[in-house]
């Protein structure tokens, strides 16, 4: 049994995941100095298998399954995830109970020439492991060749520097957290690259019945950040989009209102539906649902059903 002031924080073992865990540990030390938070590293399937695309491994759950098993077995008290890496449905008895401050949601371009996609040379080779980024790259640069890329931040940077690729796209938050801002050629604007739902946000997962841990984690919860992330996630969940469908969403806050932008695209970027929805902060999940339903009716359904049919026939 734990003492009342000792908590075990579960995390993946990658450098970025450890940074995120230590960030949460530091936030809790500031808000709850009497609580002792121990970091417990758990190695996941997604960290062990790096030579296959994420889609082939079964989607985002490969980064969370082992951690959630540890939570359910009460081997850890809570877990810290990149919110965007979480599957849209969590196991019974578990929930996201805290969403702390958010880092940049945007995507960054690493390039040998130019500071944006349009400045890259003709027929550029661009690396990314994300179907969402691939689709938006091809929409902006139909002449590009996109190379699939897996691995943590350090691994991807090493592969990029050892390659002859013209550019690589990664989350700005990950590069900043690891101290690699000098690698960034430019930040991709929203009209060119809409982020992944909840990109740059952290999600803290715990057992629903563990009120002791939830009380601790409320101290670092940010309601406005959570509203935006939940709107984006609701958009994704309503469309039932996982890693096999290019789906993007980002919620902006403006004068107390939430403005949610959403996108569904074909893999090659030639067919896409992008719309926005404005609402208050009170019911972010409903805002996400409304926007998803509108995009579905405007042609998103045809894109998603076609992609699902293609994936099932493989």
Domains defined for the chain, CATH in brackets: 6-102+201-221 (3.40.190.10), 107-187 (3.40.190.10), 232-312 (3.30.160.40)
Query: Could you say which of 77, 85, 107, 210 is catalytic?
Result: 85
Reading the chain (314 residues) residue by residue, the pLDDT tens digits are 345 799 999 999 989 999 999 999 999 999 999 999 999 999 876 555 444 454 444 445 567 889 999 999 999 999 999 999 888 889 999 999 999 999 999 999 999 998 899 999 999 999 999 999 999 999 999 999 999 998 888 899 999 999 999 999 999 999 999 999 999 999 999 999 999 999 999 999 999 999 999 999 999 999 999 999 999 999 999 998 656 889 999 999 988 899 999 999 999 999 999 999 999 989 999 999 999 999 999 999 999 999 887 776 55
Q: 155 exposed, middle or buried (CB, 10 Å; 0-12, 13-18, 19+)?
A: middle
Question: Active site includes 107?
Answer: no
What is the rounded CA–CA span in Å between residue 32 and residue 204? 16
């Amino acid at each position: 049994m734990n003492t009342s002031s000792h908590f075990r924080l579960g995390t993946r073992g990658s450098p970025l995941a450890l940074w995120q865990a230590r960030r949460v540990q530091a936030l809790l030390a500031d808000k709850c100095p009497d609580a002792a938070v121990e970091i417990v590293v758990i190695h996941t399937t997604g960290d062990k298998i790096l030579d296959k695309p994420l889609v082939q491994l079964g989607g985002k759950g490969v980064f969370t399954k082992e951690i959630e098993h540890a939570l359910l077995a009460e081997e850890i008290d809570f877990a810290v995830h990149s919110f965007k890496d979480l599957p849209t449905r969590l196991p019974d008895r578990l929930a996201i109970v805290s969403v702390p401050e958010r880092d940049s949601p945007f995507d960054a371009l690493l390039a040998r020439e130019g500071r944006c996609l349009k400045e890259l040379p003709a027929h550029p080779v661009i690396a990314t492991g994300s179907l969402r980024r691939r689709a938006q790259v091809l929409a902006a640069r139909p002449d590009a060749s996109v190379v699939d890329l897996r691995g943590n931040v350090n691994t991807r940077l090493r592969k990029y520097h050892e390659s002859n690729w013209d550019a690589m796209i990664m989350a700005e938050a990950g590069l900043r957290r690891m101290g690699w801002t000098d690698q960034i050629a430019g930040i991709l604007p929203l009209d060119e690259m809409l982020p992944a739902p909840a990109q740059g946000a952290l999600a803290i997962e715990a057992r629903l019945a563990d009120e002791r841990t939830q009380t601790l984690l409320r101290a670092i919860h940010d309601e406005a950040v959570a509203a935006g992330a939940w709107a984006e996630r609701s958009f994704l969940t309503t469309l039932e989009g996982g890693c096999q469908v290019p789906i993007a969403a980002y919620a902006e806050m403006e004068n107390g209102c939430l403005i949610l932008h959403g996108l569904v695209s074909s893999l090659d970027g030639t067919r896409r539906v992008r719309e926005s929805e404005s609402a208050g902060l009170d019911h972010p999940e409903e805002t996400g649902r409304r926007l998803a339903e509108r995009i579905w009716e405007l042609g998103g359904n045809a894109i998603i059903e076609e992609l699902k049919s293609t994936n099932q026939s493989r």
